[in-house]
């Protein structure tokens, strides 16, 4: 026994120990390296001085002071959070039932059709998609025409170049990212668990509340995080459908970079990153126990 154990990690065993770092290495170097470098540049830039036409490498907190004292920026941050939260909430409200229904489809062809339908937004370019929504949502567009002929509204409603338009288009783009994590967890769930619940006396509604819902929670949670992050960072959709009236941080960042005000752009980027990371971290802490319970598998 000792003789067999003594040589320890030679040959094959040592090779195995190298596999994980070997495979992960390139990704870690690429992502962490670039991310950390970029963050460093960002931090340095945020502390530079901007004369109005060019940047001077002189340590100052002017950009931070401007961002945190001018109420305009607080308004932008608020608008951004409101947009991301609204979009995420609508995506979950539509996405969960969608995923649930797709998970119940039995015929393979219908499953494929449903997948194509849900994932179709990702097959179009974001610009084309945004212009498409502009046409549909405009004063004389399809939606307004339908609302008017059915007498749901007296005159055309404003659906583009405002918060509503951006939210509608964002929900459309982000829905696949909401549906997918929920769908994958629902498909992985052992159907016998729902049968066991019914067998023990639960109606369909009780089975959903006591078994399906708690077990699908990790999927819902992942979907919410993904959707929220993507909504916070959306650029093209707010740009085209907001028509300048919906201001969010990614738009400001781009604007300031064009104006050569890199320090302010850097501050805005830092604020955006901090907001997203804080939201992720806080929700992980908040839902830790529920996730741990639902994540346990037999």
Partner 1 sequence: MTAASAPPAVDLQRVHKRYGPVHAVRDVSLCIREGEFFSLLGPSGCGKTTVLRMISGFETPTEGHVYLQGRLADTIPPYRRDTNLIFQHLALFPHLDVYDNIAFGLRLRRLPRDEIGRKVRGALELVDLAGYESRRIHQLSGGQKQRIAIARALVNEPGVLLLDEPLGALDLRLRMQMQVELKQIQHRVGTTFVYVTHDQTEALTMSDRIAVMNHGTVEQIGTGREVYERPRTRFVATFLGDSNLFEARVEARGPGETLLRAAGQRLVAPPAAAGAGDAVVLCVRPERVRLLAPTGPAPAGYENRIDARVQDVIFKGAFIEYRLAAAWGAPLIAQVHADGAAAIERGAAVIVAWRRDDGVVLTE
Binding site for partner 1 (CB under 8 A): 190, 192-193, 195-203, 206, 210-211, 214-215, 293-294, 296-298
Minimum separation from the CB atom of position 209 to partner 1 (A): 11
Q: Alpha-carbon dihedral of residues 81, 183, 116, 131, nearest 10 degrees?
A: 0
Nearest to partner 1 of 154, 296 (CB atom): 296
| Block residue for tokens 């829905």 | 175
Minimum separation from the CB atom of position 198 to partner 1 (A): 5
Any idea what the Cα angle at residue 218 is, between residues 216 and 222, rounded to 5°?
120
Nearest to partner 1 of 59, 298 (CB atom): 298
CB 258 within 8 A of CB 270: no
CB 177 within 8 A of CB 223: yes
Minimum separation from the CB atom of position 93 to partner 1 (A): 23
Minimum separation from the CB atom of position 219 to partner 1 (A): 13
Contacts of 217 (CB under 8 A, 6+ apart): 287, 290, 291, 294
Separation between Cα atoms, residue 40 and residue 37, nearest integer Å: 5
Minimum separation from the CB atom of position 288 to partner 1 (A): 14
Nearest to partner 1 of 56, 195 (CB atom): 195
Nearest to partner 1 of 22, 214 (CB atom): 214
Nearest to partner 1 of 144, 197 (CB atom): 197
Give whole-number Cα distances, 283 to 23, 152, 187, 290, 292, in Å.
30, 39, 25, 11, 13
């Amino acid at each position: 026994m000792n003789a067999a154990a003594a040589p320890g990690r030679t040959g094959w065993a040592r090779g195995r120990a190298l596999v994980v770092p070997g495979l992960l290495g390139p990704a870690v170097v690429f992502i962490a390296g670039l991310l950390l470098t970029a963050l460093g540049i960002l931090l340095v830039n945020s502390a530079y001085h901007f004369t109005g036409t060019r940047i001077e490498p002189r340590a100052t907190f002017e950009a931070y002071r401007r961002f945190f004292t001018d109420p305009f920026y607080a308004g932008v941050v608020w608008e951004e959070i409101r947009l991301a939260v609204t979009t995420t909430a609508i995506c979950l409200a539509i996405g969960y039932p969608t995923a649930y229904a797709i998970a119940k489809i039995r015929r393979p062809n219908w499953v494929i059709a449903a997948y194509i339908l849900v994932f179709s937004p990702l097959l179009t370019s974001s610009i084309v998609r945004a212009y498409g929504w502009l046409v549909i949502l405009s004063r004389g567009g399809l939606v307004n025409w339908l609302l008017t002929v059915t007498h749901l509204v007296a005159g055309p409603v404003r659906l583009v170049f405002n918060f509503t338009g951006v939210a509608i288009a964002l929900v459309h783009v982000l829905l696949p990212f909401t549906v997918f994590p929920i769908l994958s967890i629902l498909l992985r769930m052992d159907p016998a668990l729902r049968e066991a619940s019914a067998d023990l006396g639960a109606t369909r509604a009780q089975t959903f509340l006591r078994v399906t819902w708690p077990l699908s929670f990790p999927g819902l949670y992942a979907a919410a995080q993904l959707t929220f992050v993507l909504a916070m960072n959306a650029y093209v959709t707010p740009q085209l459908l907001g028509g300048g009236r919906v201001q969010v941080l990614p738009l400001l960042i781009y604007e300031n970079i064009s104006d050569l005000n890199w320090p302010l752009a850097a501050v805005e980027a830092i604020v955006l990153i901090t907001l997203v990371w804080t939201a992720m971290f806080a929700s992980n802490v908040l839902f830790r126990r529920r996730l741990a319970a639902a994540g346990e598998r037999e």
